[in-house]
Structure 1
């Protein structure tokens, strides 16, 4: 009796200390919920779990009982005894952790008079167990508060329960002490629980929980309870201590929603966004300038070398009017006269149909006389010198191809390209440039 009184006193003392801590934690929680300062430290979103402390240890004590809600119980009267436990936990994310538990203690069941279900009216059992559980935090991710000081959780796991029935009382009042002798039953069991934590400091939390242990056996209460598995409850409170560097925060108390908000509104990031906005604005302005075409000739004002051209004018790439050659500006030789200059369009080596009579007359003379000829290609001054050299050679080759196809011996025709050198007219005017786009013959 004295021993039991001591147990009750110890349990009540522990709970008194814990409830005092709860009051302190709730006050601290109110203060923390009302502040807008950041609790993210140096951690970054998607920065990895290494930014946080993830290991913790805990100790607890409380009361055990054979009564479990929503189940067929071996006894029906509330009769408590002492339980205790310890655990090691690793948080794997903001909301999930793995926990290795040790539980120990006694379970005392008793029936009200005349209500026995399984052939006994009272039992006493000692137990020790180990289990691995998954713990699911319910309030870590919050859209309501920047900081959390209260966290609810649920847990479920599996383990091995080692229990020994110390005694049980038969229906006729016979007390059967140590019914199984020195036998210690070893059964698989499943602990399922709910709880709440209160943050006292960054490293210490107050933990209250209720766990139901479902034992895969029928003898926990002494006589067989078949077909109903044995079970008992453990209501407990205790302290949890975070392990790791003081410079890191416990991931369980970090709100990732607040982290994302803070990272989004980071001063350096906002400044970078403003710089990007400025760059986008400059690009938009440049694009708008490129679209400006005051005279409507299709060449942007930035590149128009001849602004103000009349509407409907045909212009070149620099915005200047293209003046097509008139018949009287071409070499003053009768049409179809052999060896007359061959004219070309701007940046083209394609023969005009108007050049065919001259080429036919030249071919006829070369075939009749057996003479040779040098075909020299030229270009106007638009474009680079290298481009114009290549263009002039292409023009000369076009003429040679025509002559050879008409029967002239290819060995009698040599080709040279002189580019924009040796102009025959002024390259500063379009009329002059038209005349310089030519092929001329040099007889041998």
Structure 2
């Protein structure tokens, strides 16, 4: 027995070390090598797998009272096998299983008042079973595939075996030839994904024999049973670019499709928004260019009333009258007649101010009105130059001469003359026309000169 346990330990250790070498972090990302769209046909998956396993066979099981077995003390023996499996759905598969090994025990139950058998050994030459495997917990929202798949299995099988029983006296009784019996295998276990197409299989199976002669003795009315705890490797057949159907998560694939479609929709909408923004930007640019062109049609840089686009004489001085092409109008020839000069001379001769003031006396109004009418009717320009004698300070004389010229201008404007055509200047005592030493000379120097043009 110790030898068998040592063999089993070495077998388990070897397989576990191999599983460590192949172990990988389960890939939960979606890529073209392990993803299939929802409702894909069977051709999109790897549905066939083969497996090899090894473990321990024992007459003790986790079901039922073991003290009612034909032998009270169970041994653990090496068993091994292989299988081929066809996955029909992510949670359902059919598995054809083969198992071989031996089962043994000792300290048998009394048989009909006689002392019980000492030990037994059953060589399981072969067993073949067809089982239904139900994979659990491989459907969730967040992982594209599960890294661990718990499973349950049940089915029916047929086996051939030979028994050897040692009685209390040490005599060995061996069955004649191979014994064939039906059995029902029921199991559970876990499969761990080690890599693309490689799984580690840890399982436990109870085999219910449909007879009470599996251990070579028949005591009571309970059929025999034995268990098989195993560890193995499973390999998926087919292209490595296809996912295993057993690890495929249809719920997550629908979620993935939704996220992809949502992302594609967002990208399409964003592209449409970007395109509309580009169109709007182009329209804005075109509108700005149009506005700039329109603005050019309304710009009048020199302010002469003719837009630059039509102005043939740009930069015309401010106030210059221009024609329709923006060029200055030719100034009319102004002819001052003798009659015009007589009107102006008469106004000068009749011009009187209050003493030392710029107030025009009333007797001067009639002749000034004739000058105003002349300016209006003939469109003349007039320069008024005020002068004084040398009596008083220079500053006072300059101010008085300026005020008297401005007073005349104001009166003429009040009579309808254009103020822009009248220039009023004061010169004080700086430009005498006679001597200031006599009263007559000073009288001549106190004057306002009218220059018509």
Ranges in structure 1 where 5+ consecutive residues have no aligned partner: 279-444
Match for residue 54 of structure 1?
47
**CA distance in structure 2 between the aligned counterparts of 1:142 and 1:18, rounded to whole angstroms:** 30
**CA distance in structure 1 between the aligned counterparts of 2:62 and 2:95, rounded to whole angstroms:** 25
Match for residue 158 of structure 2?
160
Q: Tell me the CA shift for residue 139 of structure 1.
A: 2.1
**CA distance in structure 2 between the aligned counterparts of 1:47 and 1:144, rounded to whole angstroms:** 20
Match for residue 92 of structure 1?
88
Q: Tell me the CA shift for residue 106 of structure 1.
A: 0.3
CA displacement, residues 19-67 of structure 1 (integer Å, 9 cap, x when unaligned): 33555677624xx4xx555577452111212110100101111111111
Q: Tell me the CA shift for residue 221 of structure 1.
A: 1.1
Match for residue 326 of structure 2?
none
Q: How does 1:8-407 map to 2 (within 5 A)?
A: 8-21=5-18, 28-29=25-26, 32=27, 37=30, 41=34, 43-71=36-64, 72-111=68-107, 116=110, 119-127=116-124, 128-143=126-141, 145-165=143-163, 167-170=164-167, 173-181=168-176, 183-267=177-261, 270-271=264-265
**CA distance in structure 2 between the aligned counterparts of 1:231 and 1:189, rounded to whole angstroms:** 9
Contact 2:81 2:100 in 1 (8 A): yes
**CA distance in structure 1 between the aligned counterparts of 2:240 and 2:23, rounded to whole angstroms:** 23
Contact 1:150 1:197 in 2 (8 A): yes
Q: Tell me the CA shift for residue 164 of structure 1.
A: 0.8
**CA distance in structure 2 between the aligned counterparts of 1:25 and 1:151, rounded to whole angstroms:** 17
Match for residue 372 of structure 2?
none
Contact 1:62 1:236 in 2 (8 A): yes
Q: Tell me the CA shift for residue 18 of structure 1.
A: 2.7
Equivalent position SS for 2:25: helix
Ranges in structure 2 where 5+ consecutive residues have no aligned partner: 273-453
Equivalent position SS for 1:64: strand
**CA distance in structure 1 between the aligned counterparts of 2:111 and 2:37, rounded to whole angstroms:** 59
**CA distance in structure 2 between the aligned counterparts of 1:65 and 1:180, rounded to whole angstroms:** 20
Cα distance change of structure 1 residues 111 and 25 upon mapping to structure 2, 3 Å threshold: farther
Q: Tell me the CA shift for residue 267 of structure 1.
A: 4.2
Equivalent position SS for 1:111: strand
Q: Tell me the CA shift for residue 78 of structure 1.
A: 3.4
Contact 1:22 1:198 in 2 (8 A): no
Contact 1:75 1:116 in 2 (8 A): no
**CA distance in structure 1 between the aligned counterparts of 2:178 and 2:80, rounded to whole angstroms:** 19
Q: TM (normalized to structure 1)?
A: 0.54
Cα distance change of structure 1 residues 145 and 47 upon mapping to structure 2, 3 Å threshold: closer
Cα distance change of structure 1 residues 247 and 27 upon mapping to structure 2, 3 Å threshold: closer
Match for residue 358 of structure 2?
none
Contact 2:198 2:236 in 1 (8 A): yes
**CA distance in structure 2 between the aligned counterparts of 1:247 and 1:176, rounded to whole angstroms:** 60
CA displacement, residues 205-257 of structure 1 (integer Å, 9 cap, x when unaligned): 11111111111111111111341111111111111111111221111122112
**CA distance in structure 2 between the aligned counterparts of 1:163 and 1:211, rounded to whole angstroms:** 18
Contact 2:24 2:194 in 1 (8 A): no
**CA distance in structure 2 between the aligned counterparts of 1:258 and 1:38, rounded to whole angstroms:** 13
CA displacement, residues 396-420 of structure 1 (integer Å, 9 cap, x when unaligned): xxxxxxxxxxxxxxxxxxxxxxxxx
Cα distance change of structure 1 residues 116 and 198 upon mapping to structure 2, 3 Å threshold: farther
RMSD across aligned C-alpha pairs, in angstroms?
2.7
**CA distance in structure 1 between the aligned counterparts of 2:250 and 2:18, rounded to whole angstroms:** 27
Contact 1:39 1:147 in 2 (8 A): no
**CA distance in structure 1 between the aligned counterparts of 2:153 and 2:259, rounded to whole angstroms:** 36
**CA distance in structure 2 between the aligned counterparts of 1:39 and 1:83, rounded to whole angstroms:** 40
Contact 1:143 1:257 in 2 (8 A): yes
**CA distance in structure 1 between the aligned counterparts of 2:58 and 2:241, rounded to whole angstroms:** 42
CA displacement, residues 261-309 of structure 1 (integer Å, 9 cap, x when unaligned): 111122488429977xx9xxxxxxxxxxxxxxxxxxxxxxxxxxxxxxx
Equivalent position SS for 2:89: coil
Equivalent position SS for 1:197: strand
**CA distance in structure 2 between the aligned counterparts of 1:49 and 1:98, rounded to whole angstroms:** 15
Cα distance change of structure 1 residues 211 and 40 upon mapping to structure 2, 3 Å threshold: same
Equivalent position SS for 1:259: helix
**CA distance in structure 2 between the aligned counterparts of 1:25 and 1:74, rounded to whole angstroms:** 43
Contact 2:136 2:151 in 1 (8 A): yes
